[in-house]
Amino acid sequence: MENSRKKRKTWDANLMQSVLDDVNENHLTPTQAAKKHGIPRTTLTDKIKGKSQVNARNGRPHILSKEEEESLVFYIKYRVDRGFPISKKAILSLALATHLRRCEEMGMTPKVNRKKGLSQKWWKGFKCRNNLTIRKPSPLDRGRKDAVDEKVVKEFFELYRTRISDNGLTGQAHRVYNVDETGFDLDPQKKNVVTFKKMGAPAASVRKGTRDHISTMECVSADGGVIPPLIIFSKAYPSSAYRLEGPDNAVYATTSSGFIEGDIFVQWLERCFCRFSSQEKPVLLLMDQHSAHVTPKAIDCAIANDIILMGLPPHTSHFLQPLDAPGGPFNTMKSTFEDVVNEMRLVRPNFFMTKSTFPRVYKVVREKSLSMAVVKTGFRKTGVFPIDQSQINNRWLTLNSLEVAVGEENSADNMVEEEVEESQDTCTYQLLPEEEEILQMAKELADQEEVVSNETTKKVLPVHVTSPTSEVYSANENPFVKAGIVPSYVADLLTPIQESRQRKVRRVKPRAIVFDEKYIADLRKEAEEKEERKVKEQMKRKEEREEKKERKVKEQMKRKEEREEKKRKKTEEMEMKRAERLQKKQKQQKKSNKPSAGTSLSSTSPAEAAARPRRVAKRPLWMEDFTTESTEDEG
């Protein structure tokens, strides 16, 4: 008989404790208590006699203790909330290291082979007990992570709500717009295909299109309306009549890179947005603070047409911009674009995506994906319309904030209690539930230590965490250990994440900006001041160059005079030495009464010169033999 063995039931510890209390208070026998509460008599008997614990469970004991498993789960959630999730392999390594450290600490024999590690069965049980799953993470730029916190988002919603109410846009969904660009590769990412197991290599797939990059700019309204797009080709326009089958009233442009530029954005504002947007003025246009969107020409055009340009805080478009919202327009369009291209390849295997065919395909993509429901979903999930900050996923706001309990010894460098309270009051970051538990437990431990001894104190200091660290913590330094969340023997494994340098050294705080007359006036004033500073700096540099040139000329004249003086002194020294040598030579001639060797031949008389013996050069032997032979031949 299959599955004849019954599975043993695990009783809740609180229920079992209440049954035992009932037995003790009412003096019930195990049989009476079993009938009253529906629990087996043998189970109650074992609990009453102490043969098994109240919170005992079926099966083997876990490899990790309850405290260790809770610490590991806390650390996994901590890393996920901070944007640094860890893999299955890393979790198995941490669990094995924790188990081995505990066995070494207590002098126990490890239950796991060091080389093989923890089994897949343990991993499945651990994952099931703690409601874990494995997913592919979505990449997040470090600039996006370091720039945002709850205060930035709160300031944006306050400014946005003020602009909406001051300009009479409350409840006017058709007058609130969002614009942004996205890119399309003509050879979209390949999806999984069906092939055979016996093939030794992956199936080859011919490219679906060229490697060109095309950008499109979409603008949608909070009531689900859509404005004709701007399509930007890279380098040059297609050679065919691509406009005929493209989206209606679309605007086309070309740039060297295929991305938006300032002049093209102004053309779109004039030719497309002002024409197809609501004629009730003013209208609000939300956008990111890209340099192409905030040129003086674009701001002047918006002011002239009663358009309120509002820039989102930098690096927040992934959760504040309706077009980029999960399930919003851009996400739907990207997946639809891949599906349409794959469907075209199914009907026509040789279909090849080019610049000329892109407008036709993009028209189909917009008709399928840019529905009113999808556009409204994007505005709703970002809390832009209707205005609701609670719609934003809290995980984006807690990437850069965390407070942990830090134990410190009393010293002259420690903060006084007033400074600690002031640091807590000035901290505006929101804590996670786990972090509040850490603070609460740290305060309780601090109170207990103050009662026992005044040698050490517990102080709560704000510690911001934004990036992984290779720093090794000791048991006295790790805040998780001090808070009682992590065992001391894994203090160097389960460590906090240090604050990133980019967030520490940033000079300009990210914030939302309304590009209105005041902004353009401030911008022009700043430009004028900058130009004045530039002119002053140029004049200053010119004066410095002239002074440097004068100093150089003076130095050259000085060096020339020094060289001439040096040359003159050298000439005088040479004349003096020559005169001394001449005097010395004359003295020697007087003593010897002989003419000097340097006397010229012109001073010698012809008779004396003729009387001098002439020196005859000696001939070599070979020359003498040659002379003798030639004489004999002549004779």
User: Residue 221 and residue 90: Cα distance in Å, rounded?
Assistant: 45
Strand 226-234 relative to strand 307-311: parallel, antiparallel, unpaired? Answer: unpaired
Q: Are residues 165 and 279 in the same domain?
A: yes
DSSP code for 323: G
User: Residue 172 and residue 387: Cα distance in Å, rounded?
Assistant: 12
- pLDDT at position 543: 92
Is residue 387 included in any domain, yes or no?
yes
- As beta bridge partners, residue 513 has 311
User: Residue 222 and residue 94: Cα distance in Å, rounded?
Assistant: 48
User: Residue 428 and residue 166: Cα distance in Å, rounded?
Assistant: 28
Residue type, 252: Y
What would the two tokens of residue 35 be? 């009938």
- pLDDT at position 462: 34
User: CA torsion angle for 625, 629, 634, 635 (degrees, to 10)?
Assistant: 110
CB 337 within 8 A of CB 361: yes
Q: Are residues 157 and 30 in the same domain?
A: no
What would the two tokens of residue 74 be? 């806390």
Which of 352, 263, 278 lies closest to 308, judged by CA?
A: 278
Q: How many domains does the chain have?
A: 2
Three-state SS sequence of 180-239? EEEEEECCCCCCCCCCCCCCCCCCCCCCCECCCEEEEEEEEECCCCEEEEEEEEECCCCC
User: Residue 250 and residue 62: Cα distance in Å, rounded?
Assistant: 64
User: Residue 219 and residue 277: Cα distance in Å, rounded?
Assistant: 9
- pLDDT at position 350: 83
Instruction: Measure CA of the first residue to CA of the last residue in the chain; give whole Å.
Output: 149
Is residue 296 included in any domain, yes or no?
yes
Query: Could you please report the per-residue DSSP string of 267-287?
Result: HHIIIIIHHHS-SSS-EEEEE
Is residue 272 included in any domain, yes or no?
yes
Is residue 44 included in any domain, yes or no?
yes
User: Residue 213 and residue 232: Cα distance in Å, rounded?
Assistant: 9
Structural Rg of the chain based on CA atoms: 46
- pLDDT at position 623: 56
User: Residue 183 and residue 189: Cα distance in Å, rounded?
Assistant: 13
CB 300 within 8 A of CB 520: yes
Is residue 292 included in any domain, yes or no?
yes
396, 411, 435 - which closes a domain: 396
- pLDDT at position 20: 85
CA 217 to chain centre: 25
User: CA torsion angle for 298, 300, 301, 303 (degrees, to 10)?
Assistant: 120
Instruction: Say which residues have a Cβ less than 8 Å from residue 158's Cβ, sequence separation at least 6.
Output: none
CB atoms within 10 A of CB 170: 11
- pLDDT at position 354: 87
Q: Are residues 178 and 320 in the same domain?
A: yes
- pLDDT at position 475: 57
- pLDDT at position 381: 92
Low-confidence stretches of the chain (pLDDT beneath 70): 1-8, 56-60, 189-190, 400-476, 499-509, 593-635
> Greatest CA separation found in the chain?
170
Give me the domain span that covers residue 17.
Answer: 13-49
DSSP code for 258: S
CA 92 to chain centre: 27
Is residue 555 included in any domain, yes or no?
no
- pLDDT at position 410: 34
Q: Are residues 155 and 42 in the same domain?
A: no
Instruction: Say which residues have a Cβ less than 8 Å from residue 410's Cβ, sequence separation at least 6.
Output: 454, 455, 456, 457
396, 411, 440 - which closes a domain: 396
Residue type, 349: P
Counting every residue written for the chain, the total comes to 635
396, 413, 430 - which closes a domain: 396
- What number of CA atoms fall less than 13 Å from residue 167's CA on the CB side? 22
325: domain CATH number is: 3.30.420.10
Q: Are residues 39 and 174 in the same domain?
A: no
Is residue 169 included in any domain, yes or no?
yes
Phi, psi of 214 (to 5 degrees): -125, 130
Which of 160, 381, 373, 182 lies closest to 284, judged by CA?
A: 160
Query: Could you please report the per-residue DSSP string of 491-536?
Result: TTTS-PPBPPHHHHH--S----EEESHHHHHHHHHHHHHHHHHHHH
User: Residue 360 and residue 248: Cα distance in Å, rounded?
Assistant: 11
User: Residue 471 and residue 372: Cα distance in Å, rounded?
Assistant: 51
Is residue 168 included in any domain, yes or no?
yes
User: Residue 438 and residue 405: Cα distance in Å, rounded?
Assistant: 7
- pLDDT at position 307: 92
